[in-house]
Amino acid sequence: MTPHLAITDQPIDIAAALAAVQTDTAGAVNSFIGTVRNQSGGRPVRRLHYESYDSMALTQLGHVVAQAYEKWPMLQEVAVVHRKGTLELGDVAVVVAVATPHRAESFAACQFIIDTLKQVVTIWKREEYEDGTEWVAAHP
Amino acid sequence: MSLKVALFGITRDIVGTSVIELPAPAPTTVAELLAEMRRQYPALGELRSCAVAVNNEYASADTPLHTVDEIALIPPVAGG
Protein backbone atom coordinates (compact mmCIF):
# COMPACT_ATOMS: atom_id res chain seq x y z
CA MET A 1 0.00 0.00 0.00
CA THR A 2 3.04 2.30 0.16
CA PRO A 3 2.69 4.60 -2.84
CA HIS A 4 5.44 4.72 -5.43
CA LEU A 5 6.27 8.42 -5.79
CA ALA A 6 9.15 9.87 -7.77
CA ILE A 7 10.47 12.99 -9.45
CA THR A 8 13.01 12.08 -12.10
CA ASP A 9 15.20 13.72 -14.72
CA GLN A 10 15.21 10.49 -16.72
CA PRO A 11 12.58 9.33 -19.27
CA ILE A 12 9.59 7.83 -17.46
CA ASP A 13 9.14 4.06 -17.76
CA ILE A 14 5.36 3.76 -18.20
CA ALA A 15 5.39 -0.03 -18.03
CA ALA A 16 7.29 0.07 -14.74
CA ALA A 17 4.74 2.49 -13.24
CA LEU A 18 1.88 0.21 -14.28
CA ALA A 19 3.70 -2.85 -12.97
CA ALA A 20 4.25 -1.07 -9.64
CA VAL A 21 0.50 -0.93 -8.97
CA GLN A 22 -0.26 -4.47 -10.14
CA THR A 23 -1.78 -6.55 -7.35
CA ASP A 24 -3.95 -9.65 -7.32
CA THR A 25 -6.53 -7.94 -5.09
CA ALA A 26 -7.33 -5.26 -7.68
CA GLY A 27 -9.40 -5.82 -10.79
CA ALA A 28 -8.89 -2.34 -12.21
CA VAL A 29 -5.75 -0.43 -13.09
CA ASN A 30 -6.31 3.12 -14.30
CA SER A 31 -3.63 5.45 -15.57
CA PHE A 32 -3.15 9.00 -16.73
CA ILE A 33 -0.22 9.88 -18.96
CA GLY A 34 0.58 13.54 -19.52
CA THR A 35 2.66 14.32 -22.60
CA VAL A 36 4.23 17.41 -24.15
CA ARG A 37 2.02 18.90 -26.85
CA ASN A 38 3.03 21.22 -29.65
CA GLN A 39 0.98 24.29 -28.75
CA SER A 40 -0.33 26.25 -25.82
CA GLY A 41 -3.26 28.62 -26.25
CA GLY A 42 -2.68 28.53 -30.01
CA ARG A 43 1.01 29.43 -29.66
CA PRO A 44 3.46 26.85 -31.05
CA VAL A 45 5.58 25.23 -28.33
CA ARG A 46 9.03 23.85 -29.17
CA ARG A 47 9.82 22.14 -25.87
CA LEU A 48 9.19 22.34 -22.12
CA HIS A 49 11.44 22.86 -19.15
CA TYR A 50 10.19 21.52 -15.82
CA GLU A 51 11.72 22.62 -12.54
CA SER A 52 10.95 20.89 -9.24
CA TYR A 53 11.41 21.64 -5.56
CA ASP A 54 11.90 17.93 -5.03
CA SER A 55 11.59 17.53 -1.26
CA MET A 56 8.41 19.61 -1.08
CA ALA A 57 6.99 18.09 -4.27
CA LEU A 58 7.32 14.60 -2.77
CA THR A 59 5.87 15.78 0.57
CA GLN A 60 2.86 17.36 -1.15
CA LEU A 61 2.44 14.37 -3.46
CA GLY A 62 2.32 12.21 -0.35
CA HIS A 63 -0.48 14.40 1.02
CA VAL A 64 -2.43 14.14 -2.26
CA VAL A 65 -2.20 10.36 -2.25
CA ALA A 66 -3.14 10.22 1.45
CA GLN A 67 -6.26 12.25 0.63
CA ALA A 68 -7.09 9.81 -2.17
CA TYR A 69 -6.78 6.88 0.26
CA GLU A 70 -9.19 8.69 2.60
CA LYS A 71 -11.72 9.41 -0.14
CA TRP A 72 -11.54 5.91 -1.65
CA PRO A 73 -10.73 3.45 1.15
CA MET A 74 -10.78 0.62 -1.38
CA LEU A 75 -7.83 2.19 -3.21
CA GLN A 76 -5.03 -0.39 -3.29
CA GLU A 77 -1.85 0.77 -5.01
CA VAL A 78 -0.75 4.16 -6.34
CA ALA A 79 2.20 5.24 -8.45
CA VAL A 80 3.02 8.80 -9.49
CA VAL A 81 6.14 9.67 -11.46
CA HIS A 82 6.83 13.21 -12.65
CA ARG A 83 9.61 14.21 -15.00
CA LYS A 84 11.78 17.29 -14.60
CA GLY A 85 14.33 18.96 -16.84
CA THR A 86 13.99 19.56 -20.58
CA LEU A 87 11.28 17.63 -22.44
CA GLU A 88 10.72 17.44 -26.18
CA LEU A 89 7.37 17.21 -27.97
CA GLY A 90 5.70 13.88 -27.24
CA ASP A 91 7.80 13.15 -24.17
CA VAL A 92 5.98 11.83 -21.10
CA ALA A 93 5.81 14.47 -18.35
CA VAL A 94 3.79 12.59 -15.74
CA VAL A 95 2.29 9.18 -15.10
CA VAL A 96 -0.38 8.45 -12.50
CA ALA A 97 -1.43 4.83 -12.00
CA VAL A 98 -3.91 3.46 -9.47
CA ALA A 99 -5.27 0.02 -8.71
CA THR A 100 -8.70 -0.61 -7.16
CA PRO A 101 -11.00 -3.64 -6.93
CA HIS A 102 -13.50 -2.14 -9.42
CA ARG A 103 -13.23 0.36 -12.26
CA ALA A 104 -15.42 3.27 -11.13
CA GLU A 105 -13.17 4.14 -8.20
CA SER A 106 -10.06 3.74 -10.34
CA PHE A 107 -11.19 6.47 -12.75
CA ALA A 108 -12.22 8.80 -9.90
CA ALA A 109 -9.06 8.31 -7.84
CA CYS A 110 -6.78 8.72 -10.84
CA GLN A 111 -8.47 11.97 -11.87
CA PHE A 112 -8.40 13.29 -8.32
CA ILE A 113 -4.67 12.65 -8.03
CA ILE A 114 -3.68 14.34 -11.30
CA ASP A 115 -6.06 17.29 -10.74
CA THR A 116 -4.82 17.90 -7.19
CA LEU A 117 -1.19 17.37 -8.17
CA LYS A 118 -1.51 20.25 -10.62
CA GLN A 119 -2.77 22.52 -7.83
CA VAL A 120 -0.31 21.83 -5.02
CA VAL A 121 2.80 19.95 -6.13
CA THR A 122 5.82 22.25 -6.41
CA ILE A 123 6.75 21.75 -10.04
CA TRP A 124 7.01 24.62 -12.51
CA LYS A 125 6.78 24.56 -16.28
CA ARG A 126 8.51 26.93 -18.66
CA GLU A 127 7.30 26.79 -22.23
CA GLU A 128 9.79 27.47 -25.01
CA TYR A 129 8.47 29.15 -28.16
CA GLU A 130 10.07 30.30 -31.42
CA ASP A 131 10.69 33.72 -29.89
CA GLY A 132 11.30 33.16 -26.18
CA THR A 133 10.13 31.36 -23.06
CA GLU A 134 7.47 31.87 -20.42
CA TRP A 135 6.68 30.39 -16.99
CA VAL A 136 3.22 28.83 -17.27
CA ALA A 137 0.46 30.32 -15.07
CA ALA A 138 2.86 32.76 -13.38
CA HIS A 139 0.89 35.90 -14.21
CA PRO A 140 -2.85 36.65 -14.08
CA MET B 1 20.14 36.30 12.62
CA SER B 2 19.76 36.24 8.86
CA LEU B 3 17.20 34.17 6.98
CA LYS B 4 17.81 32.06 3.88
CA VAL B 5 14.99 31.79 1.34
CA ALA B 6 15.04 29.36 -1.59
CA LEU B 7 13.65 30.58 -4.90
CA PHE B 8 12.17 28.58 -7.75
CA GLY B 9 10.74 29.18 -11.21
CA ILE B 10 9.86 32.76 -11.97
CA THR B 11 10.78 33.98 -8.48
CA ARG B 12 14.37 32.84 -9.11
CA ASP B 13 14.35 34.72 -12.43
CA ILE B 14 12.99 37.87 -10.75
CA VAL B 15 15.46 37.85 -7.86
CA GLY B 16 18.35 36.56 -9.95
CA THR B 17 19.55 33.86 -7.56
CA SER B 18 18.34 30.51 -6.24
CA VAL B 19 18.86 31.43 -2.58
CA ILE B 20 18.58 34.88 -1.06
CA GLU B 21 19.88 35.71 2.40
CA LEU B 22 17.94 38.37 4.29
CA PRO B 23 20.19 40.02 6.89
CA ALA B 24 19.15 40.79 10.45
CA PRO B 25 16.71 42.06 11.48
CA ALA B 26 15.09 39.37 9.31
CA PRO B 27 11.33 38.95 8.88
CA THR B 28 9.79 36.93 11.69
CA THR B 29 6.60 35.76 9.97
CA VAL B 30 5.47 34.64 6.52
CA ALA B 31 3.54 37.91 6.08
CA GLU B 32 6.62 39.98 6.94
CA LEU B 33 8.77 37.95 4.57
CA LEU B 34 6.36 38.43 1.66
CA ALA B 35 6.08 42.15 2.36
CA GLU B 36 9.87 42.54 2.49
CA MET B 37 10.43 40.48 -0.68
CA ARG B 38 7.78 42.49 -2.57
CA ARG B 39 9.34 45.73 -1.35
CA GLN B 40 12.76 44.70 -2.67
CA TYR B 41 11.41 43.02 -5.82
CA PRO B 42 8.14 44.69 -6.91
CA ALA B 43 7.78 42.21 -9.82
CA LEU B 44 6.92 39.55 -7.22
CA GLY B 45 3.71 41.47 -6.56
CA GLU B 46 2.64 41.03 -10.18
CA LEU B 47 2.47 37.24 -9.93
CA ARG B 48 -0.87 35.43 -9.88
CA SER B 49 0.09 34.21 -6.41
CA CYS B 50 3.16 33.72 -4.26
CA ALA B 51 3.02 31.32 -1.33
CA VAL B 52 5.67 30.63 1.27
CA ALA B 53 6.74 27.13 2.24
CA VAL B 54 8.21 26.33 5.64
CA ASN B 55 9.85 22.91 5.94
CA ASN B 56 8.15 21.60 2.79
CA GLU B 57 4.63 22.65 3.83
CA TYR B 58 2.53 25.60 2.67
CA ALA B 59 2.54 28.16 5.49
CA SER B 60 -0.14 30.65 6.54
CA ALA B 61 0.57 34.38 6.85
CA ASP B 62 1.07 34.28 10.62
CA THR B 63 3.48 31.34 10.62
CA PRO B 64 6.67 32.27 12.52
CA LEU B 65 10.02 31.93 10.74
CA HIS B 66 13.21 30.61 12.32
CA THR B 67 16.72 30.51 10.92
CA VAL B 68 16.76 26.71 11.13
CA ASP B 69 13.63 26.45 8.95
CA GLU B 70 13.79 25.54 5.28
CA ILE B 71 11.99 28.50 3.71
CA ALA B 72 11.00 28.94 0.07
CA LEU B 73 8.90 31.21 -2.11
CA ILE B 74 6.34 29.22 -4.11
CA PRO B 75 5.10 30.93 -7.28
CA PRO B 76 2.07 29.44 -9.11
CA VAL B 77 2.78 25.74 -9.68
CA ALA B 78 2.28 24.15 -13.09
CA GLY B 79 3.03 20.46 -12.89
CA GLY B 80 1.31 17.77 -14.90
Average of per-residue pLDDT across B40-65? 98
Mean pLDDT (whole number) for B17-38: 96
**Is the per-residue pLDDT at B2 higher than 90?**
no
**Element spanning B33, H or E:** helix B30-40
Q: How far B10 CA sits from the closest chain A CA (Å)? A: 6
Residue A138 pLDDT greater than 80, yes or no: yes
d(CA B58, CA B76): 12
Note the pLDDT tens digit of each residue in A78-102. Answer: 999 999 999 999 999 999 999 999 9
The three-state DSSP-derived secondary structure of B53-72 is EECCEECCCCCECCCCCCEE
Domain B3-74 has CATH 3.10.20.30: yes
Contact A135/B56, CB-based, under 8 Å? no
Q: Is A138 close to B47, i.e. CB distance below 8 A?
A: yes
What's the pLDDT score for residue B1? 73
Is A135 in Cβ contact with B75 (below 8 Å)?
Answer: yes
Over range A23-38, report the average pLDDT: 97
Q: Give the mean model confidence (pLDDT) for residues B46-54.
A: 98
CB atoms within 10 A of CB A111: 14
On whether ipTM exceeds 0.90, the answer is yes
Return the pLDDT at B29: 97
Note the CATH architecture for domain A4-135. Answer: Alpha-Beta Complex (3.90)
Average pLDDT, chain A: 97
From A35, which residue of chain B is nearest by alpha-carbon distance? Answer: B80
Q: Between A131 and A1, where is the model more confident?
A: A131
Q: Where are the alpha helices (DSSP H) in chain A?
A: 14-21, 54-71, 103-120
Which residue among B8, B48, B53 places its CB closest to the CB of A139?
B48
Please report which confidence band the pLDDT of residue B62 belongs to, taking 50, 70 and 90 as the band edges. Answer: very high
Contact flag B10-A125 (C-beta cutoff 8 Å): no
With CB atoms and an 8 Å threshold, state whether B78 touches A123. Answer: yes
Tell me what the mean pLDDT of segment A27-48 comes to: 96
Question: In chain A, whose CA is at the least distance from the CA of B43?
Answer: A139
Exposed (0-12), middle (13-18) or buried (19+): which is B40, by Cβ within 10 Å?
exposed
pLDDT at A24: 96
pLDDT at residue B43, rounded to an integer: 98
Q: Is the pLDDT of residue A1 over 90?
A: no
